[in-house]
Homo-oligomer: A and B are copies of this chain.
Amino acid sequence: MELRLAEVVALVGGNLIAGDAETTLNGIATLEEAGPGDLSFFGVAKYRPQFETTKAGAVLVSAEVDSGPEGVALIQVEDPSYALALLANKVAEMVRDFEPGIRSGAHVSEDAQVDPGAAVYPGAVIEAGAVIGAGSEICAGAVIGRGVRVGAECIVYQNATVREGCVLGDRVILQPGAVIGSDGFGYVFIGGKHQKVPQLGIVVVENDVEIGANACVDRARIGKTVIGEGSKIDNMVQIAHNVQVGKHCILVALSGVAGSSKLHDHVVLGAQVGINGHIEIASGVQLGGQSGVHKSITKPGTYIGTPPKPPKNEMRIWRGLGKLHETMQEVKALRKEIDELKKG
């Protein structure tokens, strides 16, 4: 994708106060990460240092800002955040290669209901009773099980699976290989064997959720596993049965949340984090990569480690461990010296 600065200005309804309208942009990034081909935005005053040093090609700014770093184009708008959101959607639309219709080679049950505005690709399977909303794409090799409801403007990428009875809201994205509605991992141990407990519930994926490649969300034992509105789940994350993920959470790759646990809104899990079963993580908690969480966390804040601690405590432990051996040697030396002193 490529946009001339003039097009950006037109799209967001802004004023170009610095820079050349013919410059082309080809990406969107944060002030810190942006390069000369990127558009960024400066919406909150506390990011002024990042704004002053940004390498972005152009920045959306509010009416109060009238100058910036040299060589950076500036577009004044009413609300930079909103303008960016508008533009990101526009870009996504531009790069999306979408044409409705059921392609030859797609396997659509006669008892499924596919909106004429949806697209189904070769090798995809839509089973009986499934409903696919307008503007949704079911890509090659994806399987939509019996009675599944897929909302509007969703993308179910290649070889993803949604098992029977599950529900996807609107604008949900499943990356390739994602699995929604696999059986929860539930057994009772009877006579020396693990007897499967039927997993009779479903998964509900709310609006604007994205689920990564080969990530798994298990169906509930009874009731539903829920991924709350706007939450983003990275590749190969495991969500066990009856888990509730709140709204606008971020779960980074290879993390796992065990059965019946609840993440409140705006929780962030770094990569490879493990959350025990039957616990709660308060809204606004952020967990560093590889943390292991055995008990509920009730206070918002950033934590890291096993058990999780404020980062400065964990870093202090890391430093301490580097001197652990020397400390133990010192304790032995002290023992000797004291014994000497006591002898007199």
Contact = CB atoms under 8 A, between A and B. Distances in A.
Given A198-B28, A335-B334, A177 B158 contact: no
A185 B254 CA distance: 13
A159 interface: yes
Number of copies of this protein chain within its complex:
3
Nearest to A277: B271
B321 A179 contact: no
Interface in A156-212: 157-161, 163-164, 173, 175-177, 179, 182-183, 185, 187-188, 190-198, 200, 208, 210, 212
A146 B95 CA distance: 13
A251 to B, nearest CB: 10
A15 interface: no
Given A26-B222, A161-B158, A183-B175, A192 B248 contact: yes
Nearest to A96: B198
A111 interface: no
A338 interface: yes
A224 interface: no
Interface in A12-57: 26-30, 37-38, 41, 43
B145 A161 contact: no
A199 B210 CA distance: 13
Nearest to A147: B97
B161 A143 contact: no
A171 to B, nearest CB: 9
B107 A125 contact: no
A65 interface: no
A185 B107 contact: no
Given A198-B95, A342-B337, A177 B179 contact: yes
A328 to B, nearest CB: 5
A87 B214 CA distance: 34
A8 interface: no
A190 B325 contact: no
Given A82-B190, A127-B140, A176-B179, A29 B197 contact: yes
Contact of A213 (B187, B198, B216): B216
Interface in A110-158: 121-125, 127, 139-143, 145-146, 157-158
A296 interface: no
A10 interface: no
Contact of A175 (B28, B81, B179): B179
A246 interface: no
A91 interface: yes
A58 interface: no
B325 A335 contact: no
A327 interface: yes
A320 B324 contact: yes
A11 interface: no
Interface in A83-118: 84-85, 88, 91-92, 95, 97, 105, 107
30 contacts: A28-B197, A28-B198, A38-B222, A41-B188, A84-B195, A95-B200, A97-B146, A123-B124, A140-B143, A140-B145, A141-B141, A141-B142, A143-B158, A163-B176, A176-B179, A185-B234, A193-B230, A194-B250, A214-B216, A238-B253, A238-B271, A254-B256, A256-B271, A256-B272, A272-B292, A274-B290, A309-B322, A317-B321, A324-B324, A334-B338
